Structure 1
Amino acid sequence: MSALNLKDTYKSYYTASEQPEVVDILEATYISILGSGSPGTAVFYEKKKALLDFVEDLQQQYTGSDKAFISNIVEIFYWFDEAETGFVDIGNFYTTVDLDLLHYRIAIRTPEYISDKNIQETIHLSKTNPFANDFKLFKYTAGKSVQVLHLGPFAGELKTLPILQHFATEKGLKKSGMHHEIHLVNFESGQSQDHLKTILRDPVVKNKQ
């Protein structure tokens, strides 16, 4: 019995053009862990590694069954507390506010049939995982969004995001939720970033101004 490969099953979700585009993103289910501060810290990478290990433990429970699945693409949702920072738009998301004020959710998509009970069962099997008790089920519907595929180092996003912002503005759209990044190529601290492929996605609504 073949395992459900989420990248193949939700192909459009994991696909973006190098040119900005408008897409509609339906509800998705994730296992995730929260954090705050700059995404380049040691604890950020520790949480990301722990999440990958946890999802692997979850997958192993279903090996050979009709619920077997494969999912290992890391996604990050980023946001600021706007009561503290004010509105932060797409194009200047990483340059307007001190990144120490950034909040994030590291996530990996799972099949819809994964439940809180499944997570609790995996927690008991992952006793050596330092963040096991912090993993939670997360459901999210982005809806109408703008997105673009960014190639290369993360630092280059400072040039790509303004392009996405300009596209949204031309379409009469404005940012309406968390900035979302899908890391199609896994990256660990210290590795070269030249080969990275990252979907940059932001939910939007019609700008009534």
Structure 2
Amino acid sequence: MQHKYEWRKKEKALYLPKNQPEIIDVPDVNFITIQGEGSPADSIFTDYIGALYSLAYTIKMLPKKMENQPQGYFDFTVYPLEGVWDINDTAKANFNGVINKADLVYKLMIRQPHFVTEGFFSEMLAIAKTNKKNPLLDQVCFETISEGRCVQMLHLGPFEDEPVSFEIMEAFTKSEGLSRVSKVHREIYLSDTRKVEPKKLKTVLRFQVT
């Protein structure tokens, strides 16, 4: 009997770092993604997440019932939500050190197992659209993302306290003779904000270095 693939057990280096900075080389990874802009407090942000998860669970559950399963298929635990964050061009041109949440731009994503190809993604997306009737599914894409060499650490606590962790990461980066590529960064959400109080949230923070 084939055991379910558990990313928490098999990929600790990528998803369960310690709460101190470290260097990691991230492989090319396939994701389902959706782009947005504005504050994460906006209702559309939650709707984007809902669209991603509806497709992610279609990809997880439907092949179990298929006679012709995709090549290399295996059961797995759905990967955590991730987000890549930046600010819009106008905000960059007028940046004064303070980020207005309304100026944020982001790409939300959920990683996919290697058996999910672009063709299989398209097939599952069509089925998800039929079952869910969610217009935001039209905006979901399939992408292979290359991060390469990065610095990451586990941030414990509210999102608002992340600048403290980024300062620690940037000091570490400098001490290692590296440079941060840009202010764009990735967050991997290990906690469910609906169930976990802010002081107990666990978020992986990561940025590219050179």
Give the C-alpha shift of residue 34 in structure 1: 0.7
Tell me whether 1:61 sits opposite 2:68 in the alignment: no
1:53-105 alpha-carbon deviations (Å, 9 max, x no partner) = 210011112227651332241111112356861598xxx9xx53433232111
TM-score by length of 2: 0.83
> Is the alpha carbon distance of 1:43 and 1:126 closer, same or farther for their aligned partners in structure 2, counting shifts above 3 Å?
same
Secondary structure of the residue aligned to 1:4 is coil
5+ residue gaps in structure 2? none
Query: Which structure carries more helix by proportion?
Result: 2
Tell me whether 1:105 sits opposite 2:107 in the alignment: yes
Give the C-alpha shift of residue 48 in structure 1: 1.0
Output aligned runs, 1:112-151, within 5 Å. Answer: 112-127=114-129, 128-151=133-156
Q: Structure 1 residues 78-87 or 169-178, which shifts more?
A: 78-87
Secondary structure of the residue aligned to 2:13 is coil
Tell me whether 1:186 sits opposite 2:187 in the alignment: no
Secondary structure of the residue aligned to 1:164 is helix
Q: Distance in 1 between matches of 2:135 and 2:85?
A: 23
| Aligned residues with identical type, % of pairs | 26
Q: Distance in 2 between matches of 1:6 and 1:19?
A: 21
1:11-32 alpha-carbon deviations (Å, 9 max, x no partner) = 2111211111111111111111
Number of equivalenced pairs: 199
Residues 74 and 186, structure 1, Cα contact 8 Å, conserved in 2: no
Secondary structure of the residue aligned to 2:119 is helix
Residues 62 and 69, structure 1, Cα contact 8 Å, conserved in 2: no
> Is the alpha carbon distance of 1:114 and 1:87 closer, same or farther for their aligned partners in structure 2, counting shifts above 3 Å?
farther
5+ residue gaps in structure 1? none
Q: Structure 1 residues 132-141 or 2-11, which shifts more?
A: 2-11
Q: Distance in 1 between matches of 2:147 and 2:176?
A: 18
Give the C-alpha shift of residue 7 in structure 1: 3.4
Secondary structure of the residue aligned to 2:58 is helix
Query: Which structure carries more strand by proportion?
Result: 1
Q: Distance in 2 between matches of 1:97 and 1:153?
A: 17
The alignment yields a C-alpha RMSD, in angstroms, of: 2.5
Q: Structure 1 residues 150-159 or 171-180, which shifts more?
A: 171-180
